[in-house]
Amino acid sequence: MQAVATTELSGLKLLNRGKVRDIYEVDAEHLLLVATDRLSAFDVVLPEPIPGKGIILNQLSLFWFELLAKVSENHLVEADVQHMPAAVRAHANILHGRCTLVKRAKVHPAECIARGYLLGSGWKDYQRSGSVCGIPLPAGLKKNHRFTPALFTPSTKAAAGHDENISFAELTLIVGEPLARELRDRTLAVFEKAREHALGRGVIICDTKFEWGERDGRTILVDEVLTPDSSRFWRKEEADAVLPDGDPPSYDKQVARDWLETCGWDKQAPGPKLPPEISALARQRYIEIYERIAGHPVPCLDD
């Protein structure tokens, strides 16, 4: 499969080229989100894409949007490129399986993170302060401690550079207390529903981040949902074998992060090329996590 590193769709206005997604205006009410095969790590887009990665991300988001529809409304309008407007259909050969037509929404200025385990930046925060994003925690917790219920830990949405973890109190200053409470409650409700489903498929969702927006006065789920780019996943059987003292293998882009931490890179652009075996391993793990969670092969990946 040939990788899609970037898109140039004539007849459509490019609004933004993010780390992974290209966003086009379709009309006054709709956007086209295109999941490319770009891989970012430490807020830097790496020089070589992973073939088919965008399709996997897009298809997994579509699976979750359908599963979680009863928990939260979302921005999805159409996922079949052949049922989209003519300007989109003209690029069907590039877009097949990797694009969604969505409602335009006013995106709220915060990443809404649900943490099921104490790891990543949360673990570093706890080691330093005994808390995570302003939430005091008991002394003596170990890395990979399971939170029941999950913690809600928002962060800023940086236009460039790194997002910054913030407290719930800081979130209320940004969006107001009523919306902050709604974002917290919606984030945790969606996370718990997804965590329950994934566990039944032998997958542990360690943490994830959601984005929410406002449409017609209602808060809806937007962007990607519970993908290996926005979440940490473990296989349950591997986690059971090594927890609480060990670190289970990750089935997400942590595979790439782990190699990048050891290669001498200063985490400034441009990033290094991943070795072929690391790129292949990341792709294989993205596929496996999809197949476990959805229960079938990734649609469109080999078309």
- For the segment 62-99, what is each residue's pLDDT rounded down to a tens digit? 999 999 999 999 999 999 999 999 999 999 999 999 99
Quote the CA–CA distance of 194 and 111 in Å, as a whole number.
Answer: 18
Residue 30's pLDDT is what? Answer: 98
Residue 157's pLDDT is what? Answer: 78
Which amino acid, 273?
K
Q: Judging by DSSP bridges, how do beta strands 135-136 and 146-152 pair with one another?
A: unpaired
Any idea where the domains of the chain sit in the sequence?
13-104, 107-253+281-291
13-104 belongs to which homologous superfamily?
Phosphorylase Kinase; domain 1 (3.30.200.20)
Residue 303's pLDDT is what? Answer: 73
Q: What are phi and psi of 196, to 5 degrees?
A: -65, -45
- What is the average per-residue pLDDT within 255-267? 95
Mention every residue, 6+ apart, whose C-beta is less than 8 A from residue 56: 227, 228, 283, 286, 287, 290, 298, 301
Which amino acid, 47?
P
Residue 160's pLDDT is what? Answer: 55
Report residue 168 CA to chain centroid gap: 21
* Cβ neighbours, 10 Å, residue 119: 19
Q: Which residues pair with 222 in a beta bridge?
A: 211
Which amino acid, 154?
P
Quote the CA–CA distance of 76 and 92 in Å, as a whole number.
Answer: 18
Quote the CA–CA distance of 289 and 293 in Å, as a whole number.
Answer: 6
- The H-assigned helical ranges of the chain are 53-67, 86-89, 92-95, 120-129, 168-175, 177-200, 236-242, 254-262, 276-294
Quote the CA–CA distance of 70 and 47 in Å, as a whole number.
Answer: 39
Residue 161's pLDDT is what? Answer: 55
| DSSP designation for 10 | T
Q: Judging by DSSP bridges, how do beta strands 135-136 and 131-132 pair with one another?
A: antiparallel
Question: pTM value?
Answer: 0.96
Q: Which residues pair with 207 in a beta bridge?
A: 115, 232
Residue 302's pLDDT is what? Answer: 85
Q: Which residues pair with 101 in a beta bridge?
A: 32, 78
Give the chain's mean pLDDT. 96
Q: At what angle do helices 53-67 and 276-294 cross, to 10 degrees?
A: 20
Whether domain 107-253+281-291 has CATH 3.30.70.270: the reply is: no
The tokens of 155 are what?
Answer: 């962060």
- What is the average per-residue pLDDT within 255-266? 95
